[in-house]
Amino acid sequence: MGTIINLFADDLTAATPAELTQAIVQLAQAGVEEKFRLDFKETWEPDKQCPDIAAFANSYGGLLILGVSNDRLRFPGIASPKNSDLKTQVASVIATRITPVPIFEVHTCPAPENGANYLIAIRVSAQPRIHLYLKGDRPVYVRSEDKSIPANASHLQALLDRVRSAEHVGVAIPDPMAPVARDFFVTKAANLEATYVQRQVTENRRRSETFCLIAAVPEHPVCVSIDVTLEQSFRRLVFGAYPSIDQRRSIDLGTSIAEREDRASSWYRYHHLDLDRDHEAVWAFGAQGTVQYVCEVAERVDREAASLWSVVDLFVNLESTIRLVHEFWTLLGYFGAGQLAVRLSVPKLVPACNNDNYFPLFYETPLVLQRETIRELYGSYAVSVADTGLLLAYDARAGLRKQTLVTVGNQLLRDLRFGIDTRLLRESLDLL
């Protein structure tokens, strides 16, 4: 790790906290003017600093440093909240008060004058978009010399021209369904009478046509340095996000639960196989922050051909994957939006339902959905594959996650010829 030369351009994730503190102190004491791309503030006041961040994003990008006195001679820092991480709190406030969320980084380091406090460096990139500050009656800000000011008509015209110019260039949006790992699919055992050991062998398994595939890509690529620490962190997030997975592997790993890892320079994949239920699930992430999940959805009854799938499991998969994406992107320091895509394939399967209630097949969950919430419109549906997608903004995967589940689930199930009562569905999802 080398000393930071340029706070505007260097990779700050590769610096130690002490190196970042030293770089901030040196910049503050160097006498560099606060102009279009630099601002120092002594306190963290969202109502004042969020317009600054929006202005940086609408102008030329910039660096906002918090915890430094106005005369730049003192470095009191910012106190950390009692029940939250300071970096996460600051990033969350920015992501919920500015739309679309700008490309930004938040870095913290100890304040020289008080080791319990922190200096905060917020680095913002310029984008060909108009970023709105959601609080107050002045939504658009730009930088003018060393100040952030509400945009006037000429500023707005310049911003609109920049957006139109960027749209004309036609930058391609990444495809969430483009696999981050080769052979990204799930399989079924060819013979359930075979032993667990035999069922694991590739030659004794076949590709499944029944699956749920969920993928998310950041709106802007995140440069991910993949190492064993990040791989382990990703797996811990998986175990925390999906109910029952960690519990089953802690009891049956090595007997009815088999797992493996695959990796390459640009991706990592974790593979989980429940041999007793013949249920396979695979998670992967790529070097640009892409996250993908695919799992088997078909359940066999009495060792016969697979015949059931679970509407409840669908919502568990959606909720858990969106939570995983949110927590993984937060770990990477990415708080912007992304593209979410879902594909559900259930040919020759019928929903698992008993006593007019849809129930789970593969997860331990209290969620049960009443038939009146999700109705089969035609008795049996002619369509067996559903696709949908949406823009996964910060709020959509955090505080408004339930609404995202309702939106995505409704779109998928309507494709499969179901009628959805979204009010009842929203109330039922409180159990997740």
pLDDT in tens, 19-56: 999 999 999 998 888 888 899 999 999 999 999 999 99
pLDDT at position 116 over 80:
yes
pLDDT in tens, 392-403: 888 889 888 999
Most confident of 308-322, 340-354, 375-389: 308-322
CA–CA separation, 326 and 260 (whole Å): 24
pLDDT band at 380 (very low <50, low <70, confident <90, very high): low
Closest C-alpha to 308, from 279, 274, 273, 348: 348
pLDDT the model gives residue 382: 61
pLDDT the model gives residue 306: 65
pLDDT at position 157 over 70:
yes
For the chain, helix, strand, coil in percent to 5 are: 30, 30, 40
What is the mean pLDDT of the segment spanning 195-200? 89
pLDDT band at 128 (very low <50, low <70, confident <90, very high): confident
Cβ atoms of 311 and 358 within 8 Å: the answer is yes
**CA end-to-end distance (rounded Å), the chain:** 43
Closest C-alpha to 146, from 294, 36, 12: 36
Contacts by 41-48, CB closer than 8 A, 24 or more apart: 41/65, 41/66, 41/67, 41/68, 42/66, 42/67, 42/68, 42/69, 42/70, 42/76, 43/78, 44/78, 44/90, 44/120, 46/93, 46/97, 47/135, 47/136
pLDDT band at 381 (very low <50, low <70, confident <90, very high): very low
CA–CA separation, 389 and 215 (whole Å): 9
pLDDT in tens, 52-68: 999 999 998 899 999 99
Strands 374-376 and 418-420 turn out to be: antiparallel
Write down the CATH superfamily of domain 12-169.
Schlafen, AAA domain (3.30.950.30)
What is the mean pLDDT of the segment spanning 224-250? 93
pLDDT at position 168 over 70:
no
**In the predicted model, what is the mean pLDDT of the chain?**
89
- pTM across the whole model: 0.76
Question: What is the DSSP secondary-structure string of 56-117?
Answer: HHHTT-EEEEES--TTSS----EEPPTTS-HHHHHHHHHHHHEESPPPEEEEEEEETTEEEE
pLDDT in tens, 172-194: 566 888 888 878 999 999 888 88
Residue with tokens 């909240």: 81
pLDDT at position 238 over 90:
yes
What is the mean pLDDT of the segment spanning 290-303? 86
Where are the domains positioned within the chain? 12-169, 187-431
pLDDT the model gives residue 303: 58
Backbone angles phi, psi at 88, to 5 degrees: -65, -40
DSSP state of 50: H
pLDDT the model gives residue 1: 41
